[in-house]
Amino acid sequence: THGDLSFRVRDLALAEAGRHQIRLAEHEMPGLMALREEFGAAQPLSGARIAGSLHMTVQTAVLIETLTALGAEVRWASCNIFSTQDEAAAAVVVGRPETGGTPADPRGVPVYAWKGETLPEYWECTDEILRWVDAEGVDVGPTLILDDGGDATMLVHDGVTAEKQGAVESDPQPGDRGYSGEKLVFLATLRASLASDPQRFTRLAASLKGVSEETTTGVHRLAQLAATGDLLFPAINVNDSVTKSKFDNRYGIRHSLPDGLNRATDVLIGGKVAFVVGYGDVGKGAAESLRGQGARVIVSEIDPICALQAAMDGYQVARLDDVIGSVDFVITTTGNVAVVTAAHIAAMKDKAVLGNIGHFDNEIDMAGLEALPGVVRTEIKPQVHEWTLPADVDSDGNARAERSVIVLSEGRLLNLGNATGHPSFVMSASFANQVLAQIELHTDADYLQVGEGGTPDVHRLPKELDEKVARMHLEALGADLTELTKEQAEYIDVDVAGPYKSEHYRY
């Protein structure tokens, strides 16, 4: 704590390095800078208290400072234990140059994030962003959540459930489905809160006007809550803005996947065989980047449409089980659970590289890997581990020699764990959607209206705003948009100013 500002970051001395990177990132984030220009004077987020749980990177720093430039108060944590860029976190705490903040006298935003948090620390940080105390010392809570993956939203929802029941569900036991260290720590966090303040989450839920969610996995969680009528406040699905998922998930991954692989291993990709599990938006970007590096890419899918897309794009489509012994890289992109099992890992080639780029670390069965008899884990460097498997016999009775597999970021998303995530330009489009979603939730009471089931709903931003975000990024790329003539607009039944496509158009 410094004066009124409390925070938890690695080292404020890193702030200058962070500020230089933020300055360059601002140049690459035309969408966010245009929103500062458009809304800076009107302060549409004045009175908003935003609790953000999203990878604390340089790009996120520009997002945070856009939200404050529009009038919001902000508290921030990362949504992953490995994804923080410590220099960016420090710079945000110290504050923008015009605040006059220094490492000795920070004047920025309370950030609770550093690279390499433990799981208990992770949940402490997520809990911290929800603790909002006003000048009189009253815990007023945030009015909005800005989430990536849904952990902050889940903490509030599970907290409310626990408070209603007066108890937290019992811990899963080793061997139970769903057992994980993560869950144990999460439940402990809830128990501590319940013991100290049994109505805290109920109050929080009442003060929250809504959440905007960044990613596919978090949207999936929101949809589950809405379907059972358990969603406590309205949500905006930012992921499914076209200018988010069709750009960040695809072109962002195309950049940050090879970045993560190279920084982690520096193993040549060209000429090797790379297996991409899943061919959704992330899988498409992953496969394209690996092919671009000269790898022979194999894709697996469970959805026949996506499998056909992969085939038409020229990839071999196969099952992981059938080719696992001959691939050099395995990358998971599904957002699903246990798509790579311990048996798959045991069947991999010596020194093959295994990494996940989906949101959670359960896509690769890390617990199953740890439990393999005789397995030895060697740290090559942080977030890069060699798992050595003893000589054994496979299920067909064939002898296997001792071999090892390189696992990146302990099964967590490797582009953020082993590198610095997506580049600024693509995040500008994603985060412009986030800022617009926060403004919508803060200023437009229509979102508060309940859906058909009598409970809040998950919304998407209107297409006008999606097109607006795209427009804001064209000039910087030197792209000249063609304007419809009035005659053409009438002929295809759209307005000259848009929107140009029907809701069901898929881009």
Binding residue ranges: 57, 148, 214-217, 244, 248-249, 278-285, 301, 336, 357-359, 415, 422
- Nearest residue to ligand NAI, scored by beta-carbon proximity: 280
Give 141 or 423: the residue with its C-beta nearer to ligand NAI. 423
Q: x/- site string to ligand NAI, residues 119 to 138, per CB under 6 A? A: --------------------
- 380 burial (CB, 10 Å; 0-12 / 13-18 / 19+) is exposed
Alpha helices (runs of H) in 80-227, residue ranges in sequence order: 86-94, 119-128, 151-165, 181-196, 200-207, 216-227
Q: How many other β-carbons are positioned within 10 Å of the β-carbon of residue 165?
A: 10
Task: Report if residue 241 touches ligand NAI, rule: CB under 6 A.
Answer: no
> DSSP string spanning 279-334?
-SHHHHHHHHHHHHTT-EEEEE-SSHHHHHHHHHTT-EE--HHHHGGG-SEEEE-S
Q: How many other β-carbons are positioned within 10 Å of the β-carbon of residue 52?
A: 31
| Least distance between ligand NAI and beta carbon 430 (Å) | 9
| Least distance between ligand NAI and beta carbon 335 (Å) | 3
The amino acid that residue 204 corresponds to is L
List the one residue out of 236, 281, 210 whose CA is nearest residue 442: 210
Give 278 or 456: the residue with its C-beta nearer to ligand NAI. 278
Task: Report if residue 106 touches ligand NAI, rule: CB under 6 A.
Answer: no
Task: Report if residue 438 touches ligand NAI, rule: CB under 6 A.
Answer: no
Q: How many other β-carbons are positioned within 10 Å of the β-carbon of residue 270?
A: 10
Whole-angstrom distance, CA of residue 432 vs CA of residue 453: 31
Q: Which of 75, 200, 344, 359 binds ligand NAI (CB under 6 A)?
A: 359
Whole-angstrom distance, CA of residue 41 vs CA of residue 35: 11
Q: Residues binding ligand NAI: what is the number (CB under 6 A)?
A: 30
| Least distance between ligand NAI and beta carbon 372 (Å) | 21
Whole-angstrom distance, CA of residue 260 vs CA of residue 240: 25
Only segment of 92-100, 106-114, 171-179, 243-251 that touches ligand NAI (CB under 6 A)? 243-251
| Least distance between ligand NAI and beta carbon 215 (Å) | 4
Q: At what angle do helices 463-474 and 30-39 cross, to 10 degrees?
A: 110
| Least distance between ligand NAI and beta carbon 320 (Å) | 8
Long-range contacts of 310-319 (CB under 8 A, 24+ apart): 310/279, 310/283, 313/284, 313/287, 315/276, 315/279, 315/287, 315/291
Q: x/- site string to ligand NAI, residues 365 to 404, per CB under 6 A? A: ----------------------------------------
Q: Which of 277, 297, 324, 405 binds ligand NAI (CB under 6 A)?
A: 277
| Least distance between ligand NAI and beta carbon 255 (Å) | 10
Give 210 or 278: the residue with its C-beta nearer to ligand NAI. 278
DSSP 391: S
Task: Report if residue 327 touches ligand NAI, rule: CB under 6 A.
Answer: no
Binding residues for substrate: 57, 148, 214, 244, 248
Window 304 to 323, contacts with ligand NAI (CB under 6 A): 306
Window 177 to 216, contacts with ligand NAI (CB under 6 A): 215-216
| Least distance between ligand NAI and beta carbon 428 (Å) | 15
Whole-angstrom distance, CA of residue 260 vs CA of residue 167: 42
> DSSP string spanning 159-187?
HHHHHHHTSPPPPPPTTSTT--HHHHHHH
Task: Report if residue 411 touches ligand NAI, rule: CB under 6 A.
Answer: no
334 touches 389 (CB < 8 A): no
Q: Which of 334, 424, 428, 434 binds ligand NAI (CB under 6 A)?
A: 334
407 touches 355 (CB < 8 A): yes
Binding residues vs ligand NAI (CB under 6 A): 215-217, 245, 248-249, 277-283, 300-303, 306, 333-336, 339, 357-359, 413, 415, 421-422
